[in-house]
Each structure stands twice: as structure tokens, then as C-alpha cells.
Structure 1
Amino acid sequence: MTDIRLSVNGRPIAGACEPRTHLADFLRDRLDLTGTHLRCEQGVCGACTVLIDGAPARSCINYAVNCQGAEVTTIEGFGGDEVMSRLRTAFHEEHALQCGFCTPGMLVTARDIVLRLPEADAAQVRTELSGNLCRCTGYAGIVRAICRVLDERRGAAPVSAGRLGPVGARPGASVAGARPAMTEAGTAPAAAPGTGELGLGGRKPNLETALSFTVRRPIDEVWAVLGDIPRVARCMPGASLSAPPSDGHVEGRMSVKVGPIATNFAGAARIVREEAERRGTLYGAGRDGLSGSSARAEVTYALAPTGPDATRIDITLKTVLAGPLAQFGRSGIVKELMARLAEQFARRLEQTLEHGAPDDEAMPETSLRPLALIAGLIADKFRSLFRRAR
């Protein structure tokens, strides 16, 4: 059991819970706040949406212990909120609910839209609602209700993105209410090298996997190229540098597209290389300011010769994922996905070693598309089953 302290609907809460307990279960089972509904329990449907430090978050994929020191607001906590009161009235008058199961999460998201995007039109409202599923209404009444409140509030000042706190990922916090300073873009600034803020920082990973692949080049040549950060970044689909590397410190971006979710992680990393052992470790942290997804990672790689002109690269990945993309953290899917990415990386690395750069015309993809890789994996399995059946 782990002791946690947090604020729920303005009330301080202290207690103990299992590390595996999701915030939604903690709210419903321990605090009897059953307005937070559970349906998919994978972060997809949005029924469990609450506010964590002022930002909408899926409570079914955020662990309660990761909300140490956070301020959580559930649908029951908006009793005196003027915007929520207007939305409830509009939902009633515009017939924006039928069974009502999705309504608590829908209202929390609607409030965020009204405050954050005061000039939004109906098309933008529909886009913003894409993470909240309703199987009854067809969304027409919901969109009308939100647009009605937006029209009533035209001219009201929008909420600054800088007020929004980190969504869900608060592991290791020891001081209640402690929050990182926020930039104007609403993302926590990258820590300077050596501060210990990059990597896991002692946190327990919720994703851990290992993989190996071989490139057909001598170990010294592979080791030298892996020390050239810009060349390595070109080999990784979706990765790009936002500034030249300096003393092992790197700042960059990773573009990720998962179905309708498109994110652009910005972050930093520190790379430590051990020359004699031919191994290195990357300590990184990144965040997507739009979706609220965040990741902290430690990636260790080790080289070993498998012949005079071949080198095996062993990689261990440990990650803490939080936010909407955490739903894809199931080990089986991620391990297969990482294996496919390793294949792409190995091919591009070999092209870099042979020609000085990867063949971008042969591999034009500039962003990471996990669903496309998983679809390819499923197709391969069907082909394998078909061959066995013949």
C-alpha cells in the first residue's frame, strides 16, 4: 500500500491505496464520487474525464499514486461554477443527453472548450469533442449546447494555457500542491543537464521492454555513428532536433500519430556514453502541450560484435507514460511495435553507414504511425496463419 495526499473537489484527502489503483476507482470506491463513470477503461471513451490541476484528464488511465499533491475536480465539484451551471442548463434545453452515461465527462470537456477556446465555432467544437464518445445523441444537441454557451460568453477573456497543470503524471511528488513552473505554451520547461529531472528519476516505469537487432557493419563504425546525434535522429522515424546538441544534451521533437490523435512531443535528453563498454544511456522527458500526454524514459543500448562485419545492438527501454497515449502502453502491443520500429531504425542506420544518410525517398515517412505498424503486424500474422492452413 502507498500513502497518498491530494485535494479532491477542494477537500484534502489522505489515505493508502494499492499502486495499481486507478484514479477513477479511487474516486468511486473510496470517496463514493460515482459521477465519474467507467466504460472502456482504456482512456478512449472520455466518460471518466475529470480535471487534474485544472486540465481535463482520463481518470481510468491515471494511477491514484501518480496524483500525489494534485488538485482533482470531479463532476460533483462544480456546484458553484458559473460556466458549468450554464452548460448544464444548455444541455437540458438543447436535448444534449439521452442515457446520460457520457454526460459527466462530456460536461467537463465542454467546460474546458468554453474557457480555453472562446472563439470556437461548431466545427472546432466537434473536433474538440472527438475524445468523448456518445452512442445516443449523434452529438448535434451537444454541439448546439456548447455553441450556445460560447455565444453567451463572447468577449470573455480566455483562460491562459499557462494556468493548466500537468495532466496526471505526478509520481514522486513529496510536497502537496507542488507544481513545475509553466511556460507560455503551457508545457514544463526542459531541465538543464545534470539536474536529475530527465529520465525516470527513481519512478517505477509502467512500460518496460527489451529488443535486439543486428546491423551489417563493424562495431567501431557503428559506435562512432551512434555518437553522432544528428545522424542518429535522422534514422528514427518521427524524430527531429530543435537545437544543435551540446555536451550530450539534446532538445528535439517526436511526431506521433495514433488514429485520430496527432501529437508533437517536445522534450530534452541527456546522453551518457561509456566508451570502454560500448554502451550508452539516454535520459529523456517530453510532453505534448495539446493532448497532455507526457513521457519520461531511460533507454540503454549496448553493442556487441557478432562477426568482423556485423554488430548486435541490445536496447532496454523503460518509460513512464501518462495522458491519452498511455492507453497504448499494453506490453504485448508495445513490444511488437518496438520490434517493428527497430527494423526501421536498423535499415536506416545501415543506409547511413553505407551512404552517409538514410534513403528518404525509399522511406519518406516523417512521423511515427503506430497504428500503421500494428496493422502491418496483424496482416503478417494473418498471412502466416493462411500459409499454415494451406
Structure 2
Amino acid sequence: MNSLRLTVNGASVTQAVEPRTSLADLLRENLHLTGTHLGCEQGVCGACTVIVDGVPVRSCISNATGCGGAEVRTIEDFDEDPLMIELRQAFNAHHALQCGFCTPGMLIMARDIVERLGDADEQRIRQELAGNLCRCTGYSGIVKAVRSVIVARQANGVVAPPRSVGLGPAGCGHGAADETTAKPVISPPQPATASSATKAQLATPGKIGASAPSVKQSFVIDHPQDVIWRQFGNVPAMIRCIPGAALVGETEEGNYQVNMRIKMGPIGAQFAGVANQQRDDRTMTGVIHGAGRDERSASLAQGELSYALHEEHGGAATRVDLDVKYALSGALGQFARAGIVTHFIGAITAQFTENLRRSLSPEAGDPEPREASELRLAGSLAIAVKSWLGEIRRKLFSR
């Protein structure tokens, strides 16, 4: 992992990232700045455009560790910016958006054009926007919106100030205050074996940071609290309740060897790793830590399930509060978009709940083992996409 220091939206940020992490993934997954959209992830569509050291860049193809010491501004940092307010109003007036997916990157680029080229005509605006693709509007409204802001500023006597850019690619750290902030600190490489990687991750409880994406769920089971508490303490029985999980054995250190198969559409993986559990009998709370590696993709998955039991209906039933945190790195990390994986984990947790209820019913027998696949993924993703689009419209164009 690399220790990276940079400035994001005016705040100093220190993050531990893998060498392959893109600036877009750092912003979205680590810092939860999801206004930066990911489209092609090849630097073609421009949806991921942000400002680095005063210059628009494609964050999806910008290496995060190459931005040590740089100053990064995302669309969230322009909420109160006067020029961006003018552009948002112009985009509304000229119908320069439809689905809104390209809009954050388009606005970032439009602001740079107006600020840098105070007399740009329609042809020059089209040239400057050539790297930002829109599948909805036909570009006419976008170009008119940008041009209208330029004309209005010219009428008000606003002149684009001269701007100089330092040598070197944007984000290389040429604007850093000192050399140490521009260079990531490389930690020694770790062995790539499943056992060593997972044991290292499980050595310290609570390894997953507080800012990691999480899913919270609560449900009530018609069994007394002590019955549910004993069931949660039976690790092999709990593993059988997790879709796609299979118990392999137990290590000398008291950890459980587990295999976990997951599938999201055409993407499948099998993680081999270990899990352990810490429990507090007094408060009836516990934490299950797990980590595993998919050998085919060399991807590492970490999970942390916290649970708390509470009496319901005078002790005849139990409310179970779950908090599931997760982290996915390596080749499969590109599929770990917070919204998508959150919905996926939510569906897995729901299946776990159903299996737990079945395991407590003697006539039902053990839950039927099956691959962890989200049966409701399409519906969940439709809800997520609709929510994200609505949020970006409200945030960008409510003024």
C-alpha cells in the first residue's frame, strides 16, 4: 500500500492506496465524493473530469499515487462558486442536460473554458468540449449555454485572467509545498498467498476503517434472546447460513477456514480465507471478521459483521441489529462501486436472514447451500440509479 497525501476540495487528505488505484476510485470509494462519475473508464467520455492543480484531467486514468501533493477539486467543491452558478443556470435555461450522467464532467470543463478562454466562439467551445461525450442532448444546448455565459461576462466587462500552468503533467505534484508530500511512501510488498494475506488482515480486530461502505439491517426472530445468542456463537452453523459460504476447517489459532463464492451477473469469484469472532456475553454483541483472496484475479475481500441482540415482545422474540462493512481490492476492485456493492451486500444479508430463520426451525433442516448471487440485483440497481440521477439533478440545478 502507498501512503498518499494531497489536498481535496481545500482539505488535507492522507490515504493508504494500492499502486493501481485511480484518482477516480480514490475520490469515489475512499472519500465518497460520488459527484465524479465513471463512464468508459478509459479516458474517452470525460464524465470523470476533475480539476488537478488548476487543470482539467480524466480522473479515471490518472494514477492516484501520481497526484501526491496535488490540489484536487471535484464538482462538490463548486457549490458556491459564482461562475459555476452561472453555468448551472445557463444549462437549465438552454436545456443542456437530460439524464445528467455527463453533466458533472461537462460543467467542470465548461467552467475551465469560460475562465481560460473569455472570448471563445461556438467553434472553439465545440473543440474544447470534444473530450466530453453526451449521448442525450446533441451538444447544441450545451454549447449555447457555455457561449451565453461568455457573452454575459463580456457584457459585464469580466475579462478572463491570464493563467500559467507549471511544468509537468497535471497532478505530478509540481504545486506541492515540499518534496515529501509529492512522493508516496511505498510499504514493503506482502506475500501473495491466501493464508498470509488473510491472517495479516485479521490480526487486528476492526481493521476496516470507519469510512468504509456499510449496510445496516434489523430484523426480528420469534425466538428468545439466549437461543439466538447461542446460534450466533455456533460459527459453523452461521457459516452455513451465508449464501455461497462453505466451512473448510479450523486453524490452530482458532480461526475458521472458509470458501466464499459470489456472482454478480457475468462476474464470479471464489475467495479462500479465514474468519474469526469476538463476543461479549454481557452486552450480547459480537463482531465477525473475515478476509479472503480470489487466486484467479489476486483480489482481496475483507468483511466485518457486527451484531447486537435485543429482547422483543417481553422476551419471546429477539431483534437482531446487523452492520456489515466491506472492502474489495485488486483486479475486482473496479467493480466495487459503493452503491452497487451496497445493494449486493444488502441482498446477501437478506438471504442470510432467511437462512438463519430456517436454521432455527427443526422441521426445515439446514439451509440449502447455493452460490451467493443477488436475485434482486436488477431491481436494486434500478432503484440506485434512479436515486443517484435524482440527487445529482437536485444538487447541481437547485439554485
TM-score norm. by structure 2 comes to 0.49
Determine which structure has more spread, i.e. the larger CA radius of gyration.
2
